[in-house]
Structure 1
């Protein structure tokens, strides 16, 4: 039996403009430039450049713009004299998802107009000052300097370097094909972890080349002689032995080769007493041999400018300067280029408004341009809202962590969670999280990700809460000053921290030690 029910439902949905703002907020500076270029490709009404106007403009047009400005509530927002802080209005239900809020108006679809409907409302689009050229806060370099990108790495990849070395070996055509297959099988760390029989099968199927494993091993030895040392090894011991072969062959090198070749398991577990006993070495001889091994590179594929592990440069989103105790926060000038609405599209509206005969095709074109202009306005406004939100969030972080930014001492960090910043700036925790997860700040002490400043509190004997960063800093200092021949175990570290007034358990010490990438006491032992 069918029933007809009436149900009342309250739901909340994000508008397309709010979704666009959220996506722009969470991307870092390096990706923002790409996102802006993508938007300019799909929206011809959005372009890059300042908003300078020609001096010889018709006075009648100025009068028309003044009348349009009087009717346009956004005219003050669009003027060149407006600033970021004055123009910004809080997007309520972007920062606070717990309640409804007004969303920006959505673009009106093009309407089919009848013969009697011959006019379009163009008063909002006949203003030459559509959107003022958006500029970053703070003084930055000139326009040409802002366009300059960091020097690109013009060196070739590791694969190119190895192939060049292969061509200089003057191998036969068959051996060179095997060498190319071997080089193509090298992973990012510089190892060949595929079985040689599988590589032989690849040669048979891909190049119709029947080869035996011993023939591949012979070419492999040639490739292993290339730079960097240790390349194309099949495991870590072989990689270290390849590097030792290139060193001067003295007693220390011979002892190191014995340790890696026959006692690698004991060496990896730091059972030095067992190694010394089996090889009948003196204390000094063992120390020199182990020291030599520790200087070798376990990942040759990431060494040098040609490796895949080449240096990656971090582009900070904020720049914090300290002028005699006065902290000055600015946005990175590369956060966004100057954006404006294309004057050519405004001219289209002006031409349509002055046209004596307005046919259907012209009205359809104007409706399309109107939608593109709306989209460009919303995108520029989202960029502005992004910068304002970033500044408010970072200013709140600087206010709570001022002691750290003045002195650069980790022990000066205060406990701080996302909720503390959200309450201070009046935004939702999710908004603060989007800012903190992918942004960084440049200080006089280095570049820090914003997540670095968020930490939980740990109670002390005095009843105060200190940041877990402070405890980690002290823990790292204790391990750094320990006697490496008798490193401190986690339970001893716990007692030492408790003696300093930090109420912390042994399992918490182990968790912090792992977060600091510090191994257990047995693996920290040195001769």
Structure 2
């Protein structure tokens, strides 16, 4: 049975201005310049004042808010005559910021990569080595197929039967399993050593067999990788000594020989395209015991609304008769002007939010920024800063997760200054970073032949006044990417 109801709902939606601000707030300084250039290209009603000053006399840009600027009647009467409505109607009609971001998705800018220097890639290097070997056409094409099937780390994880199918479907080549295996052995002789291996064991064996096989250490290292790789990985050195019938000194030489090998041969030649350049968003300097905070100048571009577009809109908006094309022109120009004002406002709001947030963090961690000693870091969570500046926690999070500050003792991500509180036996609250620092020092000074277990580390912390459970020690150790005691053992 069908029914009709009347309901009232209270919904909260982001305005286009809020979307603009959120997008710009999370953009780091290194990407802000590109984002501004993109906006300048898309919106002719937006101008970069610093670029305009290079080509125009200084008196054309009075030191006023662009939105409140008035102009001479002579100029306003000349400019509109040069405006052709049809020319502007042919331009791409860019929607407002709300709809544009909804269509493209929030991660559009995150996919952009910084250009890198052109040089031979990992695959081009292998192809060049293949070109130097005199091979029949069929074997050469099989070799090309193998190289193209390698992963970025240099491993071949595609099965031989799958390679045979690939050759049949893509190149119409009928190959036998033995032919592909033989060409794979040829590829495995290429540099970097270990390339073309199907697993870690084969990768290490390829590298070891290229060494001096008359050296007994190399021979025993091959034996370890062939038969005792799991024991070696788990650092069961006692079992290895008994199985190989060697002394601790001999085993140390064998282990060191294996540790010299490269488990990911492809990474040695591949350019890391994801490495991003870090440009600090803030600078903190110590002026005789007084901290001075400054915002990176790249975060404060000189943008203004185009004068010609403002005059254009006023002229055509006041026109006595408006046909369809003229109305479309007025709508187009108004849209561009609104977008330019929104963008300028969002940039200004971004600057204010960045300074406000960083200033609160600096004063909260004042002792740390004076000394650089991590033990002076106070426990601080996002809510502490959000309450201080009167903003939402999500806003502070966006700033902390993507912005860097340059100090006299290094450049740091703002997120690194946030930490949870731990109570000492005396009742004092300290940052968990202080505990992590002590753990790192204890592990760094330990006897690697008898590394400290988590229980022992917990006891050491208790002696220093930090009542922390073993599982908490394990959590902090894992957060610092430090392995368990057994895996830290050395001969």
Compute the TM-score of the two structures, normalised by the length of structure 1. 0.77
- Contact 1:301–1:309 (CA under 8 A) maintained in structure 2: no
Number of the residue aligned with 1:36: 36
Distance 1:457 1:231 in 2: 48
Number of the residue aligned with 1:520: 484
Distance 2:181 2:314 in 1: 76
- Contact 2:114–2:276 (CA under 8 A) maintained in structure 1: no
Deviation at 1:246, TM superposition (A): 3.2
Matching residue within 261, 281, 286 for 1:317: 281
Distance 1:293 1:405 in 2: 44
Distance 1:371 1:313, change over 3 A: closer
Number of the residue aligned with 2:249: 284
**Paired residue total:** 445
Number of the residue aligned with 1:294: 259
SS of match in other structure, 1:340: strand
Number of the residue aligned with 1:207: 171
In structure 1, the gaps of 5 or more residues are 79-148
Number of the residue aligned with 1:75: 68
Deviation at 1:56, TM superposition (A): 7.5
Structure 2 residue 254 is matched with structure 1 residue 261 = no
Distance 1:174 1:324 in 2: 75
Higher helix share: 2
Structure 2 residue 138 is matched with structure 1 residue 174 = yes
Root-mean-square deviation over aligned CA pairs: 3.1
Deviation at 1:342, TM superposition (A): 2.9
Number of the residue aligned with 1:88: none
Deviation at 1:161, TM superposition (A): 1.9
Structure 1 residues 460-469 or 39-48, which shifts more? Answer: 39-48
Matching residue within 49, 52, 57 for 1:54: 57
Structure 1 residues 226-235 or 36-45, which shifts more? Answer: 36-45
Map residues 437-476 of structure 1 onto 2, 5 A cutoff.
Answer: 437-476=401-440
1:284-314 Cα shifts (integer Å, max 9, x gaps): 211111012112221122124x345775433
- Contact 1:319–1:441 (CA under 8 A) maintained in structure 2: yes
Distance 1:55 1:22 in 2: 34
Deviation at 1:3, TM superposition (A): 8.8
SS of match in other structure, 2:422: strand
Determine which structure has greater relative contact order: mean sequence separation of CA pairs < 8 Å that are 6+ residues apart, divided by chain length.
1
Deviation at 1:9, TM superposition (A): 5.0
Number of the residue aligned with 1:388: 352
Compute the TM-score of the two structures, normalised by the length of structure 2. 0.82
Distance 1:191 1:3 in 2: 63
- Contact 1:303–1:309 (CA under 8 A) maintained in structure 2: no
1:51-73 Cα shifts (integer Å, max 9, x gaps): 5453686xxxx9xx99xx9xx99
Deviation at 1:7, TM superposition (A): 6.0
- Contact 2:149–2:158 (CA under 8 A) maintained in structure 1: yes
Matching residue within 169, 187, 191 for 1:223: 187
Distance 2:313 2:174 in 1: 72
Distance 2:187 2:372 in 1: 48
Map residues 40-439 of structure 1 onto 2, 5 A cutoff.
Answer: 40-50=40-50, 52=53, 54=57, 75=68, 152-249=116-213, 250-304=215-269, 306-308=270-272, 311-335=275-299, 337-349=301-313, 352=316, 359-360=322-323, 361-362=325-326, 364-439=328-403
Distance 1:198 1:323 in 2: 66
Number of the residue aligned with 2:99: none
- Contact 1:301–1:308 (CA under 8 A) maintained in structure 2: no
Deviation at 1:5, TM superposition (A): 7.3
Distance 2:59 2:49 in 1: 20
- Contact 2:66–2:305 (CA under 8 A) maintained in structure 1: no
Deviation at 1:6, TM superposition (A): 7.0
Distance 1:380 1:303, change over 3 A: same
Deviation at 1:457, TM superposition (A): 0.3
Number of the residue aligned with 1:136: none
1:69-107 Cα shifts (integer Å, max 9, x gaps): 9xx99638x9xxxxxxxxxxxxxxxxxxxxxxxxxxxxx
SS of match in other structure, 1:471: helix
- Contact 1:352–1:358 (CA under 8 A) maintained in structure 2: no
Distance 2:238 2:380 in 1: 47
Structure 1 residues 464-473 or 358-367, which shifts more? Answer: 358-367
